[in-house]
Structure 1
Amino acid sequence: MKVNILASGSSGNCIALTSGESTILIDAGIAKTKIEKRLLEVGITPNKIEAMFITHAHKDHTKGLPLANKYKIPVYAGENEWKDIQGVENDLVNKIGIGGVFGASEDFVVVPFQVHHDAHQPLGYTVTSYKTDFKVSICLDTGKVEEDILKYMKNSDVYIIESNHEPRMVEASNYPISVKTRVLSHVGHLSNQQTAAALTELIQGKGEQIYLTHLSSSNNMPTLAQLTTEKALMAKGFIKDKHYRLEVV
């Protein structure tokens, strides 16, 4: 399965997954025209997108949903999350629950799982290729990672997970107290330390690919996020580029 992270961060998130001739999108958080442009840059024709899966309704995950209307792409999101998702034509709307299995095409099995964010029904997803059993786990915008989330994500070949902030930088920032409290809460975002702890439970040293995503531009640094995860995995005996690969997006 080919993974293309078209956008990541508070300004927008969009991931393209391709297996054979089939492509699906996880989130569409940048403008429609930007999604089209970035798809073409990685060799994907926008009219070949077979489905879009939305993690939650915040604009940095849904801004580009007009793409669905233009190309008649089915859009999947949590049943309750559709309360805040606007502008998708009715015949493209698909309301899904936790743990259901969806054959998004002849090439993909998609399984949604519950995450913890300040939205009605935020979801993470695992995406598995029918043909190869190659598995990608996507966990964005969650304030904590608990055993149920780990259960869904385990045994993946690729982990796409947010490593949003360094708590001390948040506390020292100029953010209002209400924003600091939200970011650091169990329905906010993962810190570098939380992400590293989750990955120590998931990585088995079989050459898995890790993508650290959704970094705060104000309260994190790519090097800090990377080193926090590398240090935690080294304590478990795993060495970068020998037992796993890691990229900060």
Structure 2
Amino acid sequence: MKVDILASGSSGNCIALTAGDSTILVDAGIAKTKIEKRLLDVGIMPTNVVAIFITHAHKDHTKGLPLANKYQIPVYASEGEWKDIQSVNEDLVYFITQESILFDYEGYQPWIEIISFDVHHDAYEPKGYVVQTKERKVSVCLDTGKVDDDMLHAMKKSEVYIIESNHEPRMVEASSYPNSVKARVLSDIGHLSNVQTAAALTELIQGKGEQIYLTHLSSNNNLPALAEMTAKRALYQKGFIEKKHYTLEVI
């Protein structure tokens, strides 16, 4: 499965996962025209997008959903999140259930299976996703204030982890954000800190060459080098060395 992170951060999030000629988008948080351009830039025709899966309805994850109407792409989100999504034609609306969703009919080969899991964010019913084929498993965990055992269980044994490493708590505390915003970011329904992300990775990485993408970094309250160093240090303490046991990229 080919991974292309088209956008990441508070200005918008969009991930393309491609198996064969079929592409799944996780989130569509930048303008429709930007999604089209960035798909083409990585060699993907927008007409090859077979589904869009939304983690939650905040604008930095849904802004580009008019793309679905233009290309008649089914959009999947939890029932709760559809309360805040109005930009999708009714015939393209699909509800996430506890069952996996399988794209295996003619024209969509190899098959792609999508399984959702609950995350912790200040939205109605936010989700993370496991997207897998026969050869590869990719876990996508974006906005969440904590990682619990059920989330770890869902993501374990992935070859690719796309996970947020949003902030450094001391930078948040020292920021000019209102106290209410600081409390939200740092809460269990806010965003993952670098240390929280590193701790989750030490539970997930098995040293089998996994690819890690650190995403959704705050432009005000984090530094790419800090997020990278925090994860690498935690994994080193578990005996894992980058480029030997895993690879890591900060988006």
Q: Same fold (TM over 0.5)?
A: yes
Show the counterpart of 2:28: 28
Aligned-pair CA distance for 1:96: 1.1
1:199 aligned residue: 201
- State the 1:48 CA deviation: 1.1
- What amino acid is aligned across from residue 248 of structure 2 in structure 1? L
1:145 aligns with: 147
**2:171 equivalent to 1:169:** yes
Matched, 1:242 2:241: no
Deviations 1:182-221 (A, max 9, x none): 0000000000000000000000000000000000000000
The within-5 A match list for 1:216-227 is: 216-227=218-229
- Counterparts of 1:93-242 in structure 2, within 5 Å, are 93-97=93-97, 99-105=98-104, 106=108, 107-129=111-133, 131-132=134-135, 134-242=136-244
Question: Residue in 1 aligned with 2:16?
Answer: 16
The reply on whether 1:73 has 2:73 as its aligned counterpart is: yes
Please state how far the C-alpha of 1:10 moved relative to its aligned partner: 0.2
State how far apart, in whole Å, the 2-side matches of 1:87 and 1:147 are: 34
SS of the aligned residue for 1:103 comes to strand
Q: Which consecutive unaligned segments of at least 5 residues does structure 2 have?
A: none
Letter in 2 for 1:182: R
State the 1:104 CA deviation: 3.3
Quick check: 1:56–1:123 contact (8 Å CA) kept in 2?
yes
SS of structure 2 residue aligned to 1:145: coil
User: Which SS does the other structure have where 1:237 is aligned?
Assistant: coil
- Amino acid paired to 2:99: G
Q: Distance in 1 between matches of 2:21 and 2:91?
A: 24
- How far, CA to CA, are the matches of 1:241 and 1:229 in structure 2? 14
Cα-to-partner distance string for 1:1-42 (whole Å, 9 max, x where unaligned): 000000000000000000011111000000000000000000
Does the 8 Å CA contact 1:51/1:104 hold for their aligned counterparts?
Answer: no
In the other structure, the counterpart of 1:92 is 92
Residues 17-71 of structure 1 deviation map (CA, whole Å, 9 limit, x = unaligned): 0001111100000000000000000000001100000000000000000000000
Give the counterpart letter for 1:119 in structure 2.
A
Query: Contact (CA 8 Å) 1:142, 1:186: kept in 2 or not?
Result: yes
Structure 2 distance, partners of 1:20, 1:160, is 20
Task: Give the aligned partner of residue 2 of structure 1.
Answer: 2
**Gaps (5+ residues) in structure 1?**
none
Residue 79 of structure 1 aligns to a residue whose secondary structure is coil
| Equivalences, count | 246
What is the correspondence of 1:46-57 to structure 2 with a 5 Å cutoff? 46-57=46-57
CA separation in 1, counterparts of 2:144 and 2:182? 15
Separation in structure 2 between the aligned mates of residue 87 and residue 41 of structure 1, nearest angstrom: 25
